[in-house]
Amino acid sequence: MTAVAKVVVDVPTMQTDRPFDYAIPATLEGAIQPGMRVWVGFGRGQRQVAGMVVGVESTSAFAGDLKPILAVLDYAPVLSQAGLALSKWLADTTFAFWITCIQTMLPTMLKVDTVKTVTLGTHPTQEAQALLAGASSVPVADLPEAAVARLVQQNALSLRYEAKDRAKVKTADYVVPADLDFAAEAAKLRANAAKQRELLTLLAHWRENGEEPAVASIQAVTRPQLVAAAKRGWLTLEAREVYRAPYELLDHQAHTKPLALTPEQAQVTSTITAAVTAQQASTFLLEGVTGSGKTEVYLQVMAAALAAGRTAMMLVPEIALTPQMVRRVKGRFGAAVAVMHSGLSDGEKFDEWRRIQRGEAQVVVGARSAAFAPLQNIGVFIIDEEHESSYKQDDAPRYHARDVILHRAAEAHAPVVLGSATPSLESRARAAKNVYQRLVLPHRINQHPLPPVHIVDMRQAYQQGGQGDFSKPLLDALQLRLERHEQSVLMLNRRGYSSFVMCRECGFVVQCPNCDISLTLHMDSHSLRCHYCGHEEPIPTRCPSCGSKKIRYYGTGTQKVEQALHELLPTARVLRMDVDTTRRKGGHERILNAFGAGQADILLGTQMIAKGLDFPNVTLVGVINADNGLSMPDFRAAERTFQLLTQVAGRAGRANKAGEVVIQTFNPDHYAIQFAQNHDYEGFFAQEMAIRHRGDYPPYYYTIKLTVSHPDESQAAKAIYSMSRELTAALSPAAIVLGPSPSAIARLKNRYFYQLVVKYKREPKLDETLTRLLDETQKSTRDGFFVAIDREPQSFL
């Protein structure tokens, strides 16, 4: 009896979003396990597609003849049983296709590409033969496309889709000395063959010591000389698998010792450690002011998990603050640490992933997608800065890393630590209901005070001697730091805001031709770009609308502020950290290292400098414009602003020197700014909860956003209204539906977007109804519909 494999195919549509049965051919009997990728024929024409085996059974309920599995891509599962179960759970909770979830969990290197190739067709011509130049098949990408299209139409060439596995193991060449009498070989050489003599001496030495050195590590002879020696039979060159080590330099760093904990830290640590030891899946909300030593708590809790023979997983919000955090974790756990984040190359990610999968790493540190790392036997999960919105993915699958971690922790019987100085309202509210256990670190290490915060009212800044974007108090404070040889951090809040180009004569703003949004100015490339569709055009010198030359740049960019700083404080050394200066790999790290080494007086940046930085010589934090985000029509605007200001203020005065914070704002009386001034998270929480309660917002309600788009506006509108009617019929009267309405950006990439938001407390039929609606509209994808369902969206915009 042949066995049957259940395969989820790489065809992401609603109709194909389930396992299909395939026969396991006799040649592959026993070789196929769940979690392996295979090639199968699919659909009409049996197109070759990749798929994931999600189960192996002895019989099939399918009536017809089963098609066979064509080949295996993996010789060992790339997803464990637990990983497969997690992918299914992810698909169910985020309304995403199962195959999309599977791909999200695997490194990019394991994704399968299709490569278009051409072979000789049924009516070959000379031209076609010339293009192939003797090869049996050639990738279309290597050929002139127009000619290929023409020849394919004439059947002179035939087009093929070849799927290509992207997984590439990196290898390096090693020297294996041959079993020879090297002295005798040397005697045969001519007198002037000094290099060869030297190599023979080395080979004799290596063989004696059992050494097989990497070619790259050999300095005395060159690679061509080694290749020549291999031809003579003196040695063999062997390609061996190596890992690309993203943080190689750090591996050689001295190990740090655990610090003696303060009594507050010790109490918190022992509470969490007890749960680690008892294998309890409790969730702790660690609410610790900035500089209270949360990181040391994380490190010691992770150490406790390792000591108990288990592993530890730690999530950090984004690449910008990983260098310092990675250094601290690597400094403590050395080579046991695997790092996963978007700043690594695909190859590096793949290597780290394999180290984790093989059980060679006991600690994983990474950003959002590291929540899926194939770490096993996890003893504790940590989410640093748990309030950060980057933990939520915007695209399908629209998951929140916190939910993934809580799910895994329950399965693993391991505690979760959610750490923040400014917890999300959701998490803090859960702690209030004892769903999470709240732990508090109310003081900074060594009783360092939290820095005093001065609010500067920018409405009066000019009269009081300010210059441009700088008020007098901020300039004075910066000047004082220069005199004292202390450092400053300056933040330009760019949330909900970008620089654009406007005509002073007619008010024309340059817009994207494909989207209802103004183009963003990029000074580095001297162009205007659309952040949504990628459209790019040169900066106009004349207004495209009225022809006037009075076209100007608006908005305070970091470059403009940097320029102003050079004029106002000519002696100050300024480092700028923004998307433009950090685009290159390792950019963040380079800038932060330079700042840490005292090579600059001022670190100027966007909100990417607000979090995680721990520099003892920073005694001043300045915020140039606190209120950009406040004016956004977003129910989380106040929360985001409060979090940002509190976090950035926390960069000042972390060591023995007292710190100070200057916040410039046009809204000095806004409660988010007032509570941030007093470092009063609990006060902010109470007031914001009252506001959310009045407005029926989260965390009092769950929310779900449904978006429909179509190239034809009336089609999109019709679809959302019909969905709204069906949804309303299925919901209880307690649910609130906002909309339907056009989305905040009503047109993107020439598609029209309509949306609705459901606010609800308990709606047993909601998920089922949404799945049905998705199903129905998917049938009409051919008509150009696109539907997205976002559970707990970051904003309603």
291 binds ligand ADP (CB under 6 A): yes
Which of 154, 437, 545, 728 lies at the binding interface for Zn ion (CB under 5 A)?
Answer: 545
Binding pattern for the stretch 633-672 against ligand ADP, x by CB under 6 A and - elsewhere: ---------------------x------------------
Closest approach of Cβ 292 to ligand ADP, in Å?
A: 4
Specify the residue, 328 or 588, whose C-beta has the smaller distance to ligand ADP.
328
506 binds Zn ion (CB under 5 A): yes
Closest approach of Cβ 646 to ligand ADP, in Å?
A: 11
296 binds ligand ADP (CB under 6 A): yes
Closest CA to 643 of 670, 609, 679, 599: 679
689 binds ligand ADP (CB under 6 A): no
229 within 8 A of 237, measured Cβ to Cβ: no
CA distance 137 to 725: 54
Size of site (CB under 6 A) for ligand ADP: 16
509 binds Zn ion (CB under 5 A): no
227 binds ligand ADP (CB under 6 A): no
- Asked, as a colleague might, if the bond just before 124 is cis with ω within 30 of 0, I would say no
**Which residue type, as a one-letter code, is found at position 731?**
L
Which among ligand ADP, Zn ion, none contacts residue 614 (Cβ within 5 to 8 A by kind)? ligand ADP
User: Measured between alpha carbons, how far is residue 159 from residues 42, 144, 147, 166, 335 in Å?
Assistant: 18, 14, 13, 21, 48
Q: Which stretch binds ligand ADP (CB under 6 A): 15-23, 258-266, 623-631, 675-683?
A: 258-266
Specify the residue, 268 or 551, whose C-beta has the smaller distance to ligand ADP.
268
Which of 194, 259, 435, 686 lies at the binding interface for ligand ADP (CB under 6 A)?
Answer: 259
710 binds ligand ADP (CB under 6 A): no
189: left (phi > 0), else alpha (psi -120 to 50), else beta?
beta
Structure tokens at 273: 């450690």
Specify the residue, 325 or 630, whose C-beta has the smaller distance to ligand ADP.
325
User: Measured between alpha carbons, how far is residue 453 from residues 483, 624, 645 in Å?
Assistant: 21, 13, 10
514 binds Zn ion (CB under 5 A): yes
**Which residue type, as a one-letter code, is found at position 283?**
T
* Order of strands, sheet of 37-42, starting from the edge strand that comes earlier in the sequence: 20-23, 4-9, 47-57, 37-42, 69-72
Specify the residue, 679 or 791, whose C-beta has the smaller distance to ligand ADP.
679
User: Measured between alpha carbons, how far is residue 484 from residues 481, 488, 601, 649, 773 in Å?
Assistant: 5, 11, 10, 20, 65
CA distance 659 to 615: 11
CA distance 342 to 259: 31
Structure tokens at 390: 């980057």
Q: Which stretch binds ligand ADP (CB under 6 A): 140-148, 257-265, 573-581, 724-732?
A: 257-265
Closest approach of Cβ 246 to ligand ADP, in Å?
A: 23
- Asked, as a colleague might, if the bond just before 699 is cis with ω within 30 of 0, I would say yes
Q: Which stretch binds Zn ion (CB under 5 A): 60-68, 208-216, 497-505, 647-655?
A: 497-505
Q: Which stretch binds Zn ion (CB under 5 A): 86-94, 120-128, 488-496, 547-555?
A: 547-555
Closest approach of Cβ 508 to Zn ion, in Å?
A: 4
Closest CA to 468 of 494, 503, 497, 492: 492
196: left (phi > 0), else alpha (psi -120 to 50), else beta?
alpha
Closest approach of Cβ 545 to Zn ion, in Å?
A: 5
Binding pattern for the stretch 270-289 against ligand ADP, x by CB under 6 A and - elsewhere: ------------------x-
Which among ligand ADP, Zn ion, none contacts residue 593 (Cβ within 5 to 8 A by kind)? none
Specify the residue, 429 or 503, whose C-beta has the smaller distance to Zn ion.
503
**Which residue type, as a one-letter code, is found at position 405?**
I
Closest approach of Cβ 622 to ligand ADP, in Å?
A: 19
Closest approach of Cβ 302 to ligand ADP, in Å?
A: 13
Ramachandran angles phi, psi of 756, nearest 5°: -145, 155
740 binds ligand ADP (CB under 6 A): no
756 within 8 A of 737, measured Cβ to Cβ: yes
- What contacts 714, CB < 8 A, 6 or more positions away? none
Q: What is the DSSP letter of 459?
A: G
Chain residues that interact with Zn ion, rule: CB under 5 A: 503, 505-506, 508, 512, 514-515, 530, 532-533, 535, 543, 545-546, 548
Q: Which positions touch ligand ADP (CB under 6 A)?
A: 259-262, 265, 288, 290-296, 445, 614, 654
